Amino acid sequence: MRAEQERAAARLRDERALVVEFAQRLRKRAIHDTYAGLRGQDVGLALAAMLDSVSLVLDQVPDQVRRDAIAAARCERDGPDGPNDPRRNRKGLTSGDGH
């Protein structure tokens, strides 16, 4: 029973981190859009704020809300076709120490 609780706590921690990272990426993208002169960044900022709120109580929201938030975060992180999707967010060729 204890091991099961630890696994559940670890899963919740990982899922919460995933949703928080998604909110951070949305917020960053909205801010970049502002500098690019685009409109509508308020929607991205509002969604990021909502995801921040959901992440704080991820274990208390309805299961459907939790599943949808996690699925959206995974889709944004990995691309629509999962972790092997060639469109997924990857680090650029120049990231790293430059060598």
Angle at 75 between CA 98 and CA 71, to 5 degrees: 135
Better pLDDT: 38 or 55? 55
- Cα 96 from Cα 98, distance rounded (Å): 6
Going by the DSSP 8-state scheme, the letter that residue 61 receives in this structure is S
51-80: average pLDDT: 92
Please, what's the b/e burial string for 5-23 (b: 16 or more CB within 10 A of its CB; e: otherwise)? eeeeeeeeeebbebbbebb
- Cα 28 from Cα 45, distance rounded (Å): 9
Residue in the structure block whose two tokens are 């120049």: 94
Q: Where are the domains of the chain?
A: 2-78
Which one-letter amino acid corresponds to residue 51?
Answer: L
The predicted structure's pLDDT at residue 97: 62
The predicted structure's pLDDT at residue 85: 64
Angle at 90 between CA 58 and CA 75, to 5 degrees: 40
2-31: average pLDDT: 94
pTM: 0.75
The predicted structure's pLDDT at residue 10: 95
